[in-house]
Structure formats: C-alpha cells, structure tokens
Structure 1
C-alpha cells in the first residue's frame, strides 16, 4: 500500500518550527544537501542586494567538540549533524560590481541602471561608520538565518539558533579575516527529543497601533 506524502504549507512549517536542543548524533546530513539549503536560503533579501552574509559549516566531530567549549558548552553544538556559523561582512560594498554586473548579464537591468546603482553604492557605503555597516550586515544575516531554519524544517530537520558563544574566540579559532564578524550559530539535524513548547505574547500586547 502506497502512502502519499502531503506537502506542508508555509504556515504549517512556521508553526511546527521550534528550537531543538537534543539531536541524534548518529544522523548525517550530506554536504550536498547543506549547500543546497544554503543556496536556497540566500534568496533572502538584503540591503542593496549586497548579500553581506558568509557561512562556515562545521561537521567534523573534533571541530564540533572544540566549538562546544567556545559556545558555553551547549550540547547541540556537538550532537547536531552540522553547525552553520553565520557571519557578517562589514565590507559588503566591495561586492557591488559583481552583484550588479551579474544582474545586468542575466537581463534583469540595463547597463545604465547597473552603472547608476554601482555609483550610488560606492558613494555611500564606504563612508558609513563601522557600527552602521555592522548593523546592516547583522540585520540581513537575521533574514537569511530565519530563511535557512524554515528551509531545514521543510526538509524534515530541526534547528536552534545560538547567539550565546564567545565570538572573539570563535574568530580566532577559524582565523576569520577582520572584515567578517560572527553573528549566530545554527545547529541543524534530526531531533532526538521534542522541543519545549512555548507561547507568544498576545497580539494586542505588541501591536502598537493600527490605522
């Protein structure tokens, strides 16, 4: 007897996604599938489409064990199939020509528009403060991270985002260049125990005004 798999709606995926901290340490996700999920996640929007996110994927068992010590001894760092570190690029504007020339060559804009956007970016971003650039990159990293977690859930995996880790030690551990900074770690794998249920504040507590 054949069973028909029903594709879940986006609403169902959103409601079923919870932060999982107990993983099946024997389960492996292929590098190919992780790359596929990352590629899909990068369809997320970003400021001026400069895509200031970078990723480090950690699957090596020994490296995960070392990372656990840097990440406040959080068990899921070591037991999940992979940990994906999301980094921000403070010099995202240096990719501007590649970004807009790619759009031009794909037929998404004409040459005049490409040149206008490149010129506008080069007149603003390089002169912004480091704090502003980091804020832009961190905001955009949040968008791609949430998209990645929903994609993983849609494929039958669970995740948990972790901001609680020593970012300075992480940067040294992976020899990260100065223009990049770590933002969040995301464990991905098969749950070994259900997540704790949680509630949300009622809408009337968070909707300030509706006109």
Structure 2
C-alpha cells in the first residue's frame, strides 16, 4: 500500500488505542502476514532485524494469554494478538541477511564480506544488556510501524506492555535468546478509541 504524505498524516492522527473489539471479526492469516511484511521494512541496527513475532488467533491460546496479561479483555476479543519479541543474538542472522543484499544487487561481494566480518567481530562480544537494548529499540520501531499499517487498512490496535514476560516465555516456549517486549491487539473496534492529549511541542523540543 502506498501512502501520500497527507494520508499518512491522517493515519497517524486517527490511530488511537482501542480496547473494545468485535470478537466475531476475523482477519485472514494472509493479510496479517502482509502487514508484518510491510512492518519489517522498518529500520534496524546494522540491518540485523532483531524482531520476531508470535501471532495468537487460537481462542484457547488467547484465553491462556489473557491470564498472563492482567486479565485484559482485548486479549480475547481482538482478531489477533501479535507478540513482538527481540532477538538478543541477532548477529546469527548476519550471513543470511547480507548475502541476500548481495544477491539482490544492493552491495558488492567485498562489502558483503566486510560487513559480515565486522558484525561477527563486534556483536557477539557486546554486553548482553547492550544487545537487549538494541533489540528492544528495533522492536519498538517495527511495532509502531505495524500499528500504523493496521490503521491504514481499517483496523485498530493497542500495545500492551503489562504482561508477565517470564511466564509468557515459559508457557509459549520462548528461548532465552528472545525477550518478550510488547503485545499488540489487532482487530475491528467495537467501542470508541481511548483519546489522550499530548504535551505542546515547545515543551518537548529544544533547538541548538
């Protein structure tokens, strides 16, 4: 989907967090995959794309997830819940990523090899906390992009950080390599969006 500047501005202004969803509305897996494919065009550190997703559509699984997410109603009523995870060992994908760039003609072989070698000499030796911060930041970028894409397609969303991440990882077999970051409810609104104000720009910007 191609958005003009004007329509993008409208999408940004019209997107609000929705907590009431039509439980009967279904979204096809194919459309969810299209939205995720567009979302993963978001920028990422060294193009290592440390985001991973678990899509919940099964009613029993959503009921279990609700128990881990402070009993939030939208977990069960939304068409899908998309869990965004961060890969703290994102460097393990470097060969696949940069070889794909080379084969697509985006870089020559020398640069491909240089970037692979550079990544392998730095990322594995970075502190785990640093890699967690990178993964969390990049996952935030892809999550926001996903919510805007959903709104442009006529759907609503709400991000949820309030869930038991340790129990989530244990229940849904998430290895220590990945950190659960946010749950995103996706569906058709069945009630008004949550409205909120923003601080004036002059309160949050400083020019130098």
TM-score calculated relative to the size of structure 1: 0.95
Unmatched 5+ residue regions in structure 1?
1-6
Which residue of structure 2 lines up, in the alignment, with residue 52 of structure 1?
Answer: 50
CA drift at 1:196: 2.3
- The secondary structure found in structure 2 opposite 1:9 is helix
CA drift at 1:111: 0.3
User: What is the rounded CA distance, in whole Å, between the counterparts of 1:188 and 1:159 in structure 2?
Assistant: 5
Q: Does 1:41 align with 2:39?
A: yes
- The secondary structure found in structure 2 opposite 1:193 is coil
Unmatched 5+ residue regions in structure 2?
none
Which residue of structure 2 lines up, in the alignment, with residue 26 of structure 1?
Answer: 24
Which residue of structure 1 lines up, in the alignment, with residue 11 of structure 2?
Answer: 13
Which residue of structure 2 lines up, in the alignment, with residue 210 of structure 1?
Answer: 207
Where in structure 2 are the equivalents of 1:186-201 lying within 5 Å? 186-201=184-199
CA offsets per residue over residues 147-176 of structure 1, 9 Å max, x none?
000000000000000000000010011111
User: What is the rounded CA distance, in whole Å, between the counterparts of 2:171 and 2:194 in structure 1?
Assistant: 32
Which consecutive segments of 4 or more residues in structure 1 shift more than 2 A?
none
User: What is the rounded CA distance, in whole Å, between the counterparts of 1:39 and 1:173 in structure 2?
Assistant: 26
- The secondary structure found in structure 1 opposite 2:74 is helix
Q: Does 1:155 align with 2:153?
A: yes
TM-score calculated relative to the size of structure 2: 0.97
**Matched residues, number:** 204
Aligned-residue CA RMSD in angstroms? 0.9
CA offsets per residue over residues 78-120 of structure 1, 9 Å max, x none?
1000000000000000000101000000000000000110011
